[in-house]
Structure 1
């Protein structure tokens, strides 16, 4: 009797454990940007939606502005399970695989409609590359498009010949070269001083950065090229995600789909609002001329081909799918 009783104890304990409600999941989520940035606001709403949909069984605490992990550390922290979920700029992973740079090829996708088509074409491959590292993509949201700031009007690339052009990575350096400008490496915080001292005469950046740096103090023309719309991705550790009950996983996926739709709308609203602020402060906001558009399209074709040399057949499949969808 005693032996039989002891043998039955493990089974009884296991049954009792299964009968208990699962412990709530409390996820810390590092993000790179401050609370005033629309990406962060969208993620905070996503966290609230997840908590509501799971009745508090999955709680996400957003740690903004790199307060938990710095931007370069976020992806690896999620992969290693140090943080279950996080946000990262997709092109930051370009050194791992060219597919992560596809949304940062200048003039490949130069509007929200084109950016959406490019995302639809590239998303399956992005998901595959992330899955191979134990990561699950939840959603992605673009920044406003990158456009040209100058003191004088730019009607063609000839107007940029020899101009010192702000560069902040390899792609913008190559872009400056193809436009006939002289690339000059410069961080965002140094922009006003560099223009004031003549170190640079032109730059390409978002309307958001233009407003935050008060571009009207040192430039007067904004040419709305929307050269590329780089995206932020929200990723989750696949092991942590797959361990959740089916209904909680589905609730998160549903909230992610809503966050992606909402985020794209917020990005477009951000673009319109910041462009209006530039105009209110005296800047001339204009669409690129036909000549400039044609020249930039050629540059885009050149840089796409250079990207394809690295991306190979996988990259070609993405571009073919994108071109077919446009």
Structure 2
């Protein structure tokens, strides 16, 4: 028969366990927010990462993915990670460049035109991004580029001057600046609102990837897609530093290893998406019109101007980044 001391000890242990278990469960059940739909390659990539983390931790760390802006819209995701509303979030870096110019380097037209150049810039840019996120209580997990952006319009546009006066959809300070330089009328429209914006005449043209065109059924609102290699902006997936540090060391390692694999896999998925989504646009009746030499020359002029402006805003570190990129 147990003694009174043994009974009291067992009772105390059970009480402690009752307190600890909910806290442990809460610390190891994360929420992840992204603004992109389930079929998007970025979303498929992050879902695979989550599956790998859960498998590596035997489900001791569980992550629920909220896609399609179902939990938080894009403008609120970064803040959501900072405040702990979600533990993991995915953002389009350039959309946040009003906070820091270094989020916008990949949005300079024609600075990056293929996946090798995108990786080179991303690797050089990464320390700057990591340092900025760290100051806000976050850690960068990985970055993956979008396929090269192209022009959507109702008819082929042979020169960059053809954009003058058009109501031009923007989604970042860089696209807003581009529209201003070429004399278009910048109009901020989120991807989910594109079809309505084109249908009602709020927008007449835009520059974005073929992937976004497929996501938003661009064949319903635009007739022509011109692959420009305009830019290859990146998505960044970040984690709350507090949430990560609260995990056991083995689980932290599982997160980091899965993130590294997601970055490598993401580039492969992006290349596949470029081929398949451009083909889908064509198969759904859109005209795929190569850019004219005159349009590309105009685009290069804008690129030189926007590169100089970006370096002026970014200061010494910006000049170092661009110099290192050109030299690498």
TM range (shorter): 0.7 to 0.9
Checking the alignment, whether the CA contact within 8 Å between 2:94 and 2:174 is kept in structure 1 is no
Give the secondary structure class of the aligned counterpart of 2:288: strand
Q: 1:35 aligns with which of 33, 38, 43?
A: 38
Paired with 1:218 and 1:84, the residues of 2 have a C-alpha distance of 36
1:59 alignment counterpart? 62
> 2:92 maps to what in 1?
89
Deviation at 1:129, TM superposition (A): 0.8
Match of 1:262 in 2: 265
1:292 alignment partner in structure 2: 295
Q: Helix, strand or coil for the counterpart of 1:138? A: strand
2:94·2:172 contact (CA, 8 Å) conserved in 1?
no
Contact 2:95 2:171 in 1 (8 A): no
* Structure 1 residues 33 and 187: CA distance shift in structure 2, 3 A: closer
Q: CA deviation at 1:58?
A: 2.1
Match of 2:231 in 1: 228
Q: Could you tell me whether the CA contact under 8 Å between 1:31 and 1:71 is conserved in 2?
A: yes
2:158 to 148, 155, 158: 155
Residues 276, 26 of structure 1: alpha-carbon distance in 2 compared, 3 angstrom cutoff:
same
Aligned counterparts, 1:269-280, within 5 A: 269-280=272-283
- 1:153-201 Cα distance to aligned partner (Å, 9 max, x none): 2332233344443334432232123234343455545544555565544
* Gap runs ≥5 in structure 2: none
The 8 Å contact of residues 137 and 233 in structure 1, kept in 2 or not, is answered as yes
C-alpha separation between the residues in 2 aligned to 1:271 and 1:63? 25
Q: Indicate whether 1:125 and 2:128 are aligned.
A: yes
Output the CA distance in 2 between the equivalents of 1:317 and 1:56.
43
Alpha carbons of structure 1 residues 213 and 66: separation in structure 2 relative to 1, 3 Å: closer
TM-score (norm 2): 0.83
Q: Give the conservation status (yes or no) of the 8 Å contact 1:166–1:203.
A: yes
Q: Who is 1:202 aligned against?
A: 205
**Aligned match of 1:320:** 323
1:57 match: secondary structure: coil
Separation in structure 1 between the aligned mates of residue 192 and residue 57 of structure 2, nearest angstrom: 41
Name the residue aligned to 1:178. 181
1:151 to partner: Cα distance: 3.1
From the superposition, tell whether residues 190 and 127 of structure 1 become closer, same or farther in structure 2 (CA, over 3 Å): closer
Do the aligned partners of 2:163 and 2:184 also contact (CA within 8 Å) in 1? yes
Q: Is 2:136 the counterpart of 1:136?
A: no
Query: What are structure 1's unaligned runs of at least 5 residues?
Result: none
Structure 1, residues 120-165: CA drift from partner, whole Å, max 9, x if none?
Answer: 1101110011111121111112223221123332332233344443
Q: What is the aligned-residue RMSD (CA, Å)?
A: 2.9
2:130 counterpart SS class: helix
Q: 1:145 aligned to 2:180?
A: no
Larger deviation, residues 84-93 vs 94-103: 84-93
